[in-house]
Amino acid sequence: MGIEIDLLANYPRAKRNVEARGAEKTEEDRRIARQFGREFFDGERRHGYGGFGYQPRFWQPVVPDLQRHFGLREGMRLLDVGCAKGFMLHDLQTLIPGLQVAGVDVSGYAIEYAMESVCDQLQVADARELPFADASFDVVISINTIHNLERDECAQALREIERVGRGRAFVTVDAYRNDEERERMMAWNLTAKTIMSVDEWIAFFADAGYTGDYYWFIP
């Protein structure tokens, strides 16, 4: 298996009022959010982002770390599983002209309103059944996506990442290290269906045959 590494260390961190969010969220809010439609991206804050537009300050500080870690260069192929509107892929192509990118997302809404610069390289697809041939990509990235599936489906998504890649990958998932972090995660969570401790995730990756790198989202 790969290594635990925070490749999103330079992603800006917002101040989070976890307790207030946990008190406000209802199961109906979670049901709406898990449809990953307009309400999740551009609707009210309780259903998701509360407005999901491109802002360079988010991914531009991150993509140089991805470039260095994976040795990304012109001609390489990279897939983003859970690409949303393609913001990260846009910034990667801006930094590395000639990098061939592709993105998939379960949200038809996100793909419809994707950034014009990358929209032709994005498509609606399910992480459990990626529409690509074996070993199609040099690098596969999935940020805070596969945990939105049930446990068995999450394992299938990891196997698909392995199948379409050539051995280099990076995923981030909702996780916790102790009881306090678990309580905060459960209060914060809106869409994830599979949440485990860090140690449980590492064992899960091994059981699923995932060989890439990984890190955690912990509010």
pLDDT in tens, 23-38: 578 899 999 999 999 9
User: Quick check: is 3 in a domain?
Assistant: no
| Backbone dihedral angles phi then psi of residue 217, each to the nearest 5 degrees | -105, 120
3-state secondary structure of 215: strand
Alpha-carbon distance of 70 to 136, in angstroms, equals 16
User: Quick check: is 13 in a domain?
Assistant: no
Structure tokens at 104: 């998939």
User: Quick check: is 181 in a domain?
Assistant: yes
Q: How many domains does the chain have?
A: 1
User: Quick check: is 52 in a domain?
Assistant: yes
Using CA atoms, how far residue 93 sits from 54, 61, 64, 76, 97, in Å, is 15, 14, 11, 11, 5
β partners of residue 104: 81, 123
Give every CB contact of residue 194 below 8 A, 6+ residues apart in sequence: 146, 147, 148, 149, 150, 151, 154, 173, 174
Give the model's confidence band at 17: pLDDT under 50 very low, under 70 low, under 90 confident, else very high. Answer: low
Overall size of the chain counted in residues: 219
User: Quick check: is 83 in a domain?
Assistant: yes
The residue segments making up the domain with residue 189 are 18-217
pLDDT in tens, 164-207: 999 999 999 999 999 999 999 998 899 999 999 999 999 999 99
Q: What is the DSSP letter of 14?
A: P
User: Quick check: is 150 in a domain?
Assistant: yes
Mean pLDDT computed over every residue of the chain: 95
CATH number of the domain that 51 lies in? 3.40.50.150
Give the model's confidence band at 1: pLDDT under 50 very low, under 70 low, under 90 confident, else very high. Answer: confident
pLDDT in tens, 45-90: 899 999 999 999 999 999 999 999 999 999 999 999 999 999 999 9
User: Quick check: is 139 in a domain?
Assistant: yes
User: Quick check: is 35 in a domain?
Assistant: yes
More confidently predicted of 13 and 53: 53
